Amino acid sequence: MLIRKAFRFRLREQPAQAREYARTAGCCRFVWNKALALQQRYYRLFGKHLGYNKLATRLPRWKRRHTFLTEAPSQALQQTLKDLDTAWVRFFKEPGQVGPPRFKGRDAHAAFRLPQSVELDAGNARVRLAKLGWVRLRLSRDVLGQIKNATVSRHQGQWFVSLQTEYASDVVSRTCTAVGVDVGAVRTASATDGQLLVLEARLAKQAARIRYLQRCLSRKQKGSRRRQRAKSKLAAVHARLARIRNDAVHKLSRSLVDAHAVVCLEDLQVAAMTTAGGSRKARLNSRILAAGWGALRLQTAYKAVWGGGAVVAVDPAYTSQRCNACGHIERANRVSQSIFRCVACGHTAHADENAALNIRERGVKELLRAGSLARAPGDAGAEGQYIVLRPSSHVESADVGRLKKREPTEALRKAA
C-alpha cells in the first residue's frame, strides 16, 4: 500500500532567512485576503464562489500591481489559492458544520507550502526550498520515501518544516492478541493488558501556570506591548502542554499497536459530551478536552493499519455498567469512579479495567462479524490469538443520537 507520511523538523535558519520566510508567509496571507474579498463579493452576487482556476489567472495581475508579491515563490501563492478553494468547497458541502473562510490578521499562523523543488541533503542535515535556498535543520530521524511537498511554519518564534513523503509498504497480516482501551476523566486511558495513562498529573504544573498567566493577561491594557508579551508567554505554556500530551499519546498508541494486532476503543462523541451540562460540569468538560481522547483514537488508527493490524470503535453504551464476568447490566454496579461491584454475582474490579474488558469483547465480535478478523487455530475466547485478515480502521463517527458514555456523579463532584 502507498503510505503518505509527514516528517517535521525544526529549522536552524539564519536571521536573514527567518525574515525571508516571514515575508513569504505575509505574501501568502495577503493573497488569501485579497482573493477572499473577491470571492465574498462574487458570493453575494451569484451565491457561489470563484474556483481556483479563475483565481489563478488573476495572480499575475496582482503581481504587477503589488510588486512585493514577486519576491515570494509562485508555488506558495498558488497553494494558498488552492487552500482557499478547498475551504469554500467544504463550506458548501458541509453547511452548518463548517463556516466560511475568514480573513487572516497579522497575528495569524504563519505558514506556506511548496509542492515542488524540495531537496533534502541528509548527510549535511539541510533542505533546499524553491526560491529560498538551502537551510539547515535538526534532522532527528531518517526520512522515508519520496518528498511530495514541504510546509514551512512558525510556532512560538521558531520555524519548522514538515516534509510529506510517499512510499510503498508491504502490509503483512498479523497474528496476535486483542486489547481494549477505556478512556476517562481521571484515568486518561486504561488498557486490558495493564497499560495506564494518567495525563492529569503530568499537566497539572502547566495548567496552574496557564491559570496564573491568564490572570496576568486580563490585567494588561489592550493593544499594549505588555499585553503582547503576556500573550506570548501564555501561548508558550499552551504549546508546551500540547507537546507533553502529544508525546504521551504517541507513546501509548505505539505501545498498543506493537503489542496487539487488534485495538478496541470507544466510539465517543466528545463534542456532544462537552457541550451539554453548562457551568455545572465546565471543569469536567475541560478535563475531557485536555485528555486527548480524539488524538489517541486517530493515532492508534493509522499506526495499526500501517502495521497490518485492525482498530475498531465500539458503541460505548453500558460498557461501564456491564459486569464482564456474568454480563449483568445495572447502574448500581458502578459504585464509584474507581470501584465496580456486580450486584448479581459479586464480581469486584476497577471500574475502568472492567469497562476495557467489555470494550475488547464488543470490538472482537464486531470485527469477526465484519470478516476482518479470524480466530487463530486452536485458540478461543477473548484471551486467544487472532489473525487479521484485512488490516482496517473501523473508527468512523457514530450517529449523534447514540447513547453517550456518562461519568458517575463522583467525577462530577471532583471536577466541580
* The Cα angle at residue 114 between residues 112 and 115, in degrees rounded to 5: 140
Rounded to whole angstroms, the Cα distance separating 270 from 292 reads 10
Residue closest to 231 by CA, chosen among 217, 243, 218, 220: 217
Q: Catalytic residue at 83?
A: no
Task: Say which residues have a Cβ less than 8 Å from residue 208's Cβ, sequence separation at least 6.
Answer: none
Q: Catalytic residue at 352?
A: yes
Rounded to whole angstroms, the Cα distance separating 163 from 120 reads 9
Order the strands of the 133-136 sheet from edge to edge: 119-121, 126-129, 133-136
Quickly tell me which residue has 493509522 as its cell.
302
First to last CA, the chain: 48
Cβ 284 vs Cβ 415: under 8 Å: yes
H helices of 219-329, in order, are 225-259, 270-275, 282-291, 293-306
Q: In Å, how far from its chain's centre is CA 110?
A: 20
Cβ 393 vs Cβ 305: under 8 Å: yes
Residue of 13, 266, 267, 353 marked catalytic: 266
Rounded to whole angstroms, the Cα distance separating 11 from 1 reads 31
Residue of 182, 267, 353, 407 marked catalytic: 182
Rounded to whole angstroms, the Cα distance separating 110 from 153 reads 6
Question: Tell me, what amino acid is at 18?
Answer: A
Q: Catalytic residue at 182?
A: yes
Residue of 85, 267, 352, 361 marked catalytic: 352
Query: How many helices (DSSP H) and strands (DSSP E) are in the chain?
Result: 11, 18
Rounded to whole angstroms, the Cα distance separating 196 from 298 reads 18
- Catalytic center residues: 182, 266, 352
